[in-house]
Structure 1
Amino acid sequence: MADKNENEYEFEYTKVTKTTKVISGLSLLYGKELKEYDNIPIEDLLNQLSEEEIEQLINDVDPDDSHIPPSLRCREQTKKAPTGPLNREKLLEFLKNFALNQEDWPENKPFQPGVKRGAVWKPKETPKVSDEETRIMLDLDDESSEALKNATESDLVDLAGILGLHSMLNQDQFYASVTNKGQGSEAKFESIVKATVPKRVPNLPDNATDVGKTMKQVSEDDKKLQELNWNNIKHIPRDSFKKLFEGLKTNTTLTTLDLANTGLTDGPTAVLVEALKENKTLTCLNLESNFLSGSMVRDILAAINVNQVIREFRASNQRPAILGNRIEMEITKLVEANNSLIRLGLHLDAPDARTRVTQQIQKNTDALRLQRIGSKSTIPSQGKDLISV
Structure 2
Amino acid sequence: MSDEVDLEDLLAVLSPAEVQALVDEMAADPDDVHIPASVRTAYRCEKDSTGDLNRDSLINCINEIALNTPDQEEKVKFEPGLKRGKVYVPKYNDEELAAMAKQAENEESIRLDPEEEAALSIATLDDIMALADILNTNPQDFVMEAYADPLQYFEPDPPNTTKPEEILEKIKNNDSNTKDVCLNNIQGMSEKLICDIFEAIRGNENLTKLSAVNCDISDFAIATLCSSLEQNSTLKSLSVENNRISPDTIADLFDSISSPNNGLIELRVASQAQQAMGYRVECRIADAIKKNPRLMKIGMSLEFKEVAERISKHLISNMDKIRIKRLNDGVAPGAGVKWTAARTLD
Question: So what's the TM-score if we normalise by structure 1?
Answer: 0.45
Residue 330 of structure 1 corresponds to 284
Matched, 1:206 2:146: no
Residues 273, 300 of structure 1: 8 Å contact kept:
yes
Partner amino acid, structure 1, of 2:163: D
Matched, 1:355 2:305: no
Residue 238 of structure 1 corresponds to 191
Residue 314 of structure 1 corresponds to 268
Structure 1 residues 376 and 237, CA gap change in structure 2 (3 angstroms)? farther
Residue 99 of structure 2 corresponds to none
Structure 1 residues 332 and 325, CA gap change in structure 2 (3 angstroms)? same
Residue 295 of structure 1 corresponds to 248
Q: How many aligned positions are there?
A: 187
Name which of 264, 277, 290 aligns with 2:230.
Answer: 277
Shift of 1:252: 0.7
- In the TM superposition, 1:373-388 aligns within 5 A as 373-375=327-329
Q: Secondary structure at the match of 1:300?
A: helix
Matched, 1:228 2:173: no
* CA–CA distance in structure 2, aligned partners of residues 353 and 316 of structure 1: 16
Residue 268 of structure 1 corresponds to 221
Partner amino acid, structure 1, of 2:274: P
Residue 259 of structure 1 corresponds to 212
Shift of 1:199: 7.8
Shift of 1:201: 4.6
Shift of 1:142: 7.6
Shift of 1:202: 2.8
* CA–CA distance in structure 2, aligned partners of residues 338 and 280 of structure 1: 13
Name which of 343, 348, 366 aligns with 2:297.
Answer: 343
Residues 219, 246 of structure 1: 8 Å contact kept:
no
Shift of 1:369: 2.2
- In the TM superposition, 1:98-137 aligns within 5 A as none
* CA–CA distance in structure 2, aligned partners of residues 375 and 366 of structure 1: 14
Alignment deviations for residues 197-228 of structure 1 (CA, whole Å, 9 cap, x no partner): 99865322011101110111111111110111
Q: CA RMSD in A?
A: 2.7
Q: Secondary structure at the match of 2:252?
A: helix
Residues 199, 224 of structure 2: 8 Å contact kept:
yes
Residues 370, 376 of structure 1: 8 Å contact kept:
no
Residues 230, 262 of structure 2: 8 Å contact kept:
no
Structure 1 residues 206 and 333, CA gap change in structure 2 (3 angstroms)? same
Alignment deviations for residues 275-329 of structure 1 (CA, whole Å, 9 cap, x no partner): 0111110010101111101111111111101124100000011121210100101
* CA–CA distance in structure 2, aligned partners of residues 344 and 337 of structure 1: 15
Partner amino acid, structure 2, of 1:329: C
Name which of 201, 216, 222 aligns with 2:169.
Answer: 216
* CA–CA distance in structure 2, aligned partners of residues 196 and 260 of structure 1: 31
Question: So what's the TM-score if we normalise by structure 2?
Answer: 0.51
Residues 308, 338 of structure 1: 8 Å contact kept:
no
Alignment deviations for residues 5-32 of structure 1 (CA, whole Å, 9 cap, x no partner): xxxxxxxxxxxxxxxxxxxxxxxxxxxx
Structure 1 residues 267 and 338, CA gap change in structure 2 (3 angstroms)? same
Shift of 1:196: 10
Shift of 1:374: 4.3
Higher relative contact order (CA 8 A, sep 6+): 2
Structure 1: tracts of 5 or more residues without a match: 1-140, 144-194, 378-389
* CA–CA distance in structure 2, aligned partners of residues 280 and 223 of structure 1: 15
Identity fraction in percent: 24
* CA–CA distance in structure 2, aligned partners of residues 299 and 343 of structure 1: 18
Residues 229, 262 of structure 2: 8 Å contact kept:
no
Structure 2: tracts of 5 or more residues without a match: 1-36, 40-147, 332-346
* CA–CA distance in structure 2, aligned partners of residues 325 and 352 of structure 1: 10
* CA–CA distance in structure 2, aligned partners of residues 328 and 376 of structure 1: 39
Structure 1 residues 309 and 201, CA gap change in structure 2 (3 angstroms)? same
* CA–CA distance in structure 2, aligned partners of residues 201 and 371 of structure 1: 46
Q: Secondary structure at the match of 2:210?
A: strand
Alignment deviations for residues 334-359 of structure 1 (CA, whole Å, 9 cap, x no partner): 11111101101111111110000000
Partner amino acid, structure 1, of 2:169: K
